[in-house]
Chain A
Amino acid sequence: MGLRDDLERFREVGEERREDLKEFISYGDLGASGSKDIKIPIKVVDLPEFKYDRLDMGGVGQGKGGTPDVGQPLGQPQPGDGEGEDGEPGEEGAEHEYYEMDPEQFAEALDEELGLELEPKGKEVIEEVEGDFTDITRSGPHSTLDFERLFKEGLKRKLAMDFDEEFVREAMKVDGTSAREVFRWCREQNILVSMAWIEDEWSRIPDDERGTWASFEEMEENVERTTAIQRIRREGLREIPFRREDERYRHPEVIEKKQSNVVVVNIRDVSGSMRETKRELVERTFTPLDWYLTGKYDHAEFVYIAHDAEAWEVERDEFFGIRSGGGTRISSAYELAKEVLDERYPWREWNRYVFAAGDSENSSNDTKERVVPLMQEIDANLHAYVETQPGGTAINATHAEEVERSLGEQGNVVVAYVSEPDDVIDAIYTILSTEATAE
């Protein structure tokens, strides 16, 4: 008994046992929209209770710097509004806690996860920065310890050292193999495991399980590898290996600071054919991208453009919520984007990203005659089009294909397809890796 036991039982809920609670399990998700915090994946089981319908109950919010006008859309309801919030576990005690992650850490974690090496490049604006705690040394008073850096280094190390233990254990069950051979095989597979660990584990493999697999190949075919994110999702980051050598202490110095700026133009089709599910997919894809770039650059600004047959600039709060009835003319958005970029974000000073999303439906010939030339005219680090077409492709949805056909070779244009939430990570990878390799 005790907490370890409770934890064990909790892990099993809805999986090995207690099927009855399965429908009450939810997982925290990446990218809480409109919020500055990233949520870390976490399993939550909420016992059912008599509660009000979330939509019907409404709520109370607090305006920042003024009372908003009646009728103004809110985006998502603010979390933590009074007692109406979803039963926070442990709310019985009077504890105070915070739960947040900043974009920079998010970007690093994503880099590690996806193996990206996107470095902000070129176009830095130089400015004088007054003596801040910017310089670092290896020793100093404790209060100036750069904990963020310590944590990040620890996280990197963790990700570098982390490997799929189960998978390696399975490899030990290959017929006639030896610890040394498994080690060699691991090296070939780029699994960062030490000989000591293998030797240790080797003796623990039950004899009757040895020989389960005829060869490494057979084992690889039959055993599924898990990715680092799956393991973290399942087990959490057990521990961050902090090392003294990662400790840095900040001390003030007056320096000349180079600042890299980025502007991201998010374009979204809000026409009649964009239904709720598609809208959600756009949000799920754009939010992490925004976060990622915010984390990568010193200074990030965002432009949101909604369009049907016309285009107009909106605030982020409204961006994902707008619906309109009209037809679609994608070029209208690019015309506006060009205007905004030329006017406010000169190419020599700004890194530019133009991300558009929609269901690929466009009015006839608009893509070829108007959009493609505009995309060529607008200088940008990257142009991306995300096609959201849950439930397959409609016949007249050809925009993405046409763009890919005409500009796919250009190096700074990429098209990604998202038809269900599981595609989001792949799409993000496709988009960001294009930027990483394009020069």
Chain B
Amino acid sequence: MSFRRHRRDAQREAARLDEPVREAGALAKKLGLDPYPVNYWVVNYDEMNQLIAYGGFQERYPHWRWGMTYDRQRKTDQFGMGKAFEIVNNDDPANAFLQESNSLADQKAVITHVEAHSDFFKNNQWFGLFSDEGQFAAAAMLERHAQTIERYVENPEISRDDVEKFIDAVLCLEDTIDQHRTIREAAADEDGRIPGDIRAQLDSLDISDDVRREVFDEAWLEGVEEAEREAAKLTDPRKDVLAYVREHGMRYDEETGKAEEMEPWQKDVLDMLREEAYYFAAQKMTKVMNEGWAAYWESLMMGDERFAGTDEFITYADHQSRVLGSPGLNPYKLGKELWEYIENSTNRAEVADKLLRVKGVTWRNFHETVDFDEVQTLLRADPAIDGVSADSLDELSELGPDEPRVDHETLDRALSGDESLDLEAYPWKLLTYEGLAERHYSLVKAQNRGFLSRIRRSELEQLSRYMFDDEVYDSVEEAVADVDKTAGWDRMREIRESHNDVTFLDAFLSEEFVRANHYFAYEYSQSSRQFRVSSSEYRDVKKKLLFQFTNFGKPTIAVYDGNFDNRGELLLGHQYNGVILDMKQAKGVLERVYHLWGRPVNLMTITKEFDEHEVEVARRRGREPTPEERAIRVRYDGESFDEHDLDPELEARIAAGEVDYDTKPDDWL
């Protein structure tokens, strides 16, 4: 297929998508979303593969890992198995890429999905940590980085392999940052200055020997150095390891055999990659929320609001079931279900709040007094709102000029014969946010029947504890008429602003949810050498799940000392939480951190050791052996590793507090 042909196809496809793009944006805003403007690009499959390889951008710095992703993506494509539907990047304006060969139903689904992502990017505070700092222009930033690093690579003074190795070393630390702060706050974290070589400074000052003897004598020098060394001991560990090595790192010079200042290009590369790490951190921290959010709104727009034409609906349903149906713990599914749970429980609390204010209804007699079927019927949407269509203009007019659920401007235009509205396809244009909230009210949907009646007494008791006006309504009808149907969506938007995956799961993963979805925790059994189910208790599952999301699912490593042992060595510490490190990987990282520090590097951690005899005994008796925890310091000096017992004082600084992620029951096997 020739290039020109491609362009023509792409243009035709782009024209076909003009309308869906415009209308999806309008619908998203009506539903209360507030996305960045999105630029849509239609690309062919190879361009798509390239974009995926580059993490959603058109230009990245030269590095083999993009080649790896590209290779994999192409192979997936060649086998006809993989299909990339969409890729959208976090930028203002955001950019979304659609593959030209997708069906129209797929494209529409992608567009609705993208609008919700874009809303999330713009409004979630964790994204704000990066985007609210100065001028936010991600694509431009990454392009600038690409060009700068390309120049270093092409510079004949600098070896390309050196640049590549340096990038590798930095990438090994890309997740050891302080992702809960802005990049500036993390860098400014004050610490004592590393003792510079004060003698060298004095030398450079050209002071006479007399003055030196008189004023800056040995005793004085030692005193200053001692004080500076003390100050260099970090009182608080520094989580942003990248920032620390940026400030104090050096490079080992093969020729002089000494640690020397980093080259300017090295500092520059470090700065750029650190900036990228902070840029991408928010996405890693909100995967479940963000994907769930997009899946929720996509489903609402495509399914409930029939943004997919009736004929496309089957294709869409198929698309969605494939995305949500992929195996394992799927973030799309988990996220979407949690959002739905939040919507339902907020709406339920709102209904209960109104019902508890009916004369004669209390939290004690709630379940006996309230006729839930009646409430369900009363909650149903007004037929004029629910059945809104191009033919229902008169019914809407009859609701009067002050009706808040009707978009009066659109209605006037429709009544005066404006056909450009295309209300056949987009009846929602006649409604406001309130109107749409009623039309899609969650508690009356078939799949949520019974949710209302399952409200627990404890929740009702809580609701009524501080309720003063508890006799406002004479009847259930009156109370239900007062229910605010936007409560669920309002609450969802608040949550999408302030939470990340950890807090989201912590707050909203309910026992009801864990049970209904058959989640369980598993652990490795040393005696049977297998993973086994360790618990299906709500608390255990939640604990394990939170563990997987905390700190990107990775161990927390921080800088504890930049002048360890008074020899300028770096001391990293693994903040132990009961789960040990993968030591092979950790040693691989240390080898590379050495490139950034230029002097020996140390890692303190805690390991678990099993006594072979005890394992054998445990195996025979069908028990689990108890490991012995040992605190160690692993040191790498540029050539080899050695291992030392850890100083008890340091051990106390990294040892586990109350956290314990082990879910093994006592009586297990």
Write out the residue numbers on chain B whose beta carbons fall within 8 Å of the beta carbon of A62: 328-329, 517-520
Interface residues of B in 531-567 (CB under 8 A from A): 531-536, 541, 544-545, 547-549, 552-555, 557
Q: Which candidate, B169-177, B181-189, B190-198, is the interface stretch facing chain A?
A: B169-177
Instruction: Tell me which residues across on chain B come within 8 A of A6, comparing CB atoms.
Output: 53, 62-67, 70
Residues of chain B lying within 8 A (CB to CB) of residue A74 = 522, 530-533
A47/B55 contact (C-beta < 8 A), A58-B523, A236-B75 known: no
Is B496 in the interface zone, CB < 8 Å from A? Answer: no
Contacting residue for A83 out of B71, B87, B548, CB 8 A: B548
- The CA of A60 and the CA of B541, in the complex, are separated in Å by 7
Residue of A nearest to B90 (CB): A94
From B64, B327, B549, B662, A10 is in contact (CB under 8 Å) with: B64
Q: In the complex the two chains form, is A80's CB within 8 Å of B68's CB?
A: no
- A80 in complex: contacting residue of B69, B75, B328, B518, CB < 8 Å: B328
Known contacts A78-B328, A81-B548; decide if A94 and B87 are in contact (CB<8 Å): yes
Is B273 in contact with chain A by the CB < 8 A criterion? no
B330 sits at the interface (CB 8 A): yes
Q: Is B55's CB under 8 angstroms from A48's CB?
A: no
Q: How far is the CA of A153 from the CA of B154 in the complex (A)?
A: 45
Q: Does A422 contact B (CB under 8 A)?
A: no
Give the chain A neighbours of B87 by CB distance below 8 A: 93-95
User: Shortest beta-carbon distance, B303 to chain A, in Å?
Assistant: 17
Identify which of B66, B74, B517, B531 contacts A58 (C-beta below 8 A): B531
Contact call B64/A98, Cβ cutoff below 8 A: no
Q: Are the C-beta atoms of A92 and B55 separated by less than 8 Å?
A: yes
On chain B, the residues within 8 Å of A40 by CB distance are 75-76, 79
Q: Mark A44-64, 1 if CB is under 8 A from B, else 0.
A: 110111111111111111111
CB distance from B288 to the nearest CB of A (A): 8
In the bound complex, residues from chain B placing their C-beta under 8 Å from that of A8 are 67
Most buried by B among A23, A58, A81: A58
Stretch at the interface among A65-73, A346-354, A423-431: A65-73
- Asked if residues B555 and A52 are in contact (CB atoms below 8 Å), the reply is yes
CB neighbours (8 Å) of B331 from chain A are 82
Task: Please indicate the chain B residues that have their CB under 8 angstroms from the CB of A59 in the complex.
Answer: 521-522, 531, 544, 548
Question: In which size bucket is the chain A interface?
Answer: 35 or more
| Proximity bits, B74-86, A CB within 8 Å = 1, else 0 | 1110111111111
Determine, out of A237-245, A252-260, A392-400, the stretch whose residues face the partner at the interface: A237-245
**Are the C-beta atoms of B329 and A70 separated by less than 8 Å?**
no
Q: Do residues A48 and B172 form an inter-chain contact, with CB atoms below 8 A?
A: yes
Q: Is A101 at the interface (CB under 8 A from chain B)?
A: yes
Q: Is the CB of A236 within 8 A of B78?
A: yes
- The residue in chain A whose Cβ has the minimal distance to the Cβ of B323 is A96
The reply to whether B532 and A73 contact each other, CB–CB distance below 8 Å, is: yes
A327 interfacial contact with B, CB 8 Å: no
Q: Which of B13-21, B393-401, B449-457, B577-585 contacts A (4 or more CB under 8 A)?
A: B577-585
The stretch from B345-353, B420-428, B586-594, B652-660 touching chain A is: B586-594
What is the number of residues of chain B that contact chain A, defined by CB distance less than 8 Å?
113
Question: Which of A13, A21, A70, A147 is most buried by chain B, counting CB atoms within 10 A of its CB?
Answer: A70
User: Does A30 count as interface, using CB distance less than 8 angstroms?
Assistant: no
> In the bound complex, how far is the Cα of B608 from the Cα of A13, in angstroms?
34
- Give the contacting residue for A48; candidates B69, B515, B589; CB below 8 A: B589
B469: chain A residues within 8 A (beta carbon): none
* Contact indicator A81/B75 (Cβ below 8 Å): no
Instruction: Please name the residue on chain A nearest to B627 by beta carbon.
Output: A56
Q: How far is the CB of A95 from chain B (nearest CB, A)?
A: 5
Q: Which residue of B lies closest to A41 (CB)?
A: B75
Q: Which residues of B contact A64 (CB under 8 A)?
A: 518
- Chain A nearest CB: distance from B316 CB in Å? 14
**Is there an interface contact between A99 and B86, defined as CB atoms closer than 8 Å?**
no
Contacts A67-B518, A94-B290, A96-B85: A24 and B588 contacting too (C-beta < 8 A)? yes
The contact of B82 among A1, A7, A23, A98, by CB within 8 Å, is A98
State how many angstroms separate the Cβ of B626 from the closest Cβ of chain A: 14
CB distance from B36 to the nearest CB of A (A): 14
- Which residue on chain A has the smallest CB distance to residue B536? A67
Say which residue of B56, B150, B529, B586 sits within 8 Å of A1 (CB atoms).
B150
Do A99 and B519 touch (CB < 8 A)? no
Q: Is A188 an interface residue, CB under 8 A from the partner? A: no
Shortest CB-to-CB span from B406 to chain A, Å, is 36
Return chain B residues, CB-CB under 8 Å to A56.
Answer: 524, 579-580, 608
- Judge if A90 is at the interface, Cβ distance under 8 Å: yes
B125 on the A face (CB < 8 A):
no
A35 CA to B627 CA in the complex, in Å?
32
Inter-chain contact A50/B555, CB cutoff 8 Å: yes
Decide yes or no whether A196 CB sits under 8 A from chain B.
no
Contact (Cβ within 8 A) B518 A63: yes
Contact (Cβ within 8 A) A93 B52: yes
Contact A50 B589 (CB under 8 A): yes
- Are A95's CB and B554's CB within 8 A? no
Q: Do B63 and A70 touch across chains, with their CB atoms under 8 A apart?
A: no
Of the listed residues B66, B67, B332, the one surrounded by the most CB atoms of chain A closer than 10 A to its CB is: B67
Complex-state Cα separation, A321 to B528, whole angstroms: 9
Which of B175, B329, B580 makes the CB contact (< 8 A) with A60?
Answer: B329
Considering the complex, which residues of chain B in the window 288-329 have a beta carbon less than 8 Å from any beta carbon of chain A? 290-291, 294, 322-323, 326-329
Q: What residues of B have a CB within 8 angstroms of the CB of A63 in the complex?
A: 518-520
**Taking the nearest CB of chain A, how far is it from the CB of B577, in angstroms?**
9
- Bound: A238/B290 CA distance, A: 35
Contact indicator B536/A1 (Cβ below 8 Å): no
**Considering residues B79, B161, B280, B662, which has the most beta carbons from chain A within 10 angstroms of its beta carbon?**
B79
- Distance A18 CA – B168 CA, assembled complex (angstroms): 11
Q: Taking the complex as formed, is A345 at the interface, i.e. its CB lies under 8 A from any CB of chain B?
A: no
Known pairs A1-B153, A50-B585, A70-B536; A95 contacts B52 (CB<8 A): yes
User: Could you list 25 examples of A-B contacts with CB < 8 Å?
Assistant: A3-B50, A3-B53, A3-B54, A6-B66, A6-B67, A40-B76, A45-B68, A48-B585, A48-B591, A50-B175, A50-B589, A52-B580, A52-B581, A53-B579, A56-B608, A58-B663, A61-B519, A61-B522, A62-B329, A67-B536, A70-B534, A73-B528, A92-B56, A92-B283, A239-B78
Known: A48-B172, A50-B585, A60-B329. 17 other contacts (CB 8 A): A21-B168, A42-B71, A47-B168, A48-B585, A49-B554, A49-B589, A51-B555, A52-B580, A53-B579, A61-B533, A63-B518, A63-B520, A82-B545, A83-B287, A99-B82, A239-B78, A321-B528
Chain A interface residues (CB < 8 Å from chain B): 1-3, 5-11, 13, 17-18, 20-21, 23-24, 35, 40, 42-45, 47-84, 89-101, 147, 151, 236-240, 276, 321, 323
Smallest CB-CB A-B distances: 5 pairs:
A48-B588, A10-B67, A6-B67, A63-B518, A80-B328
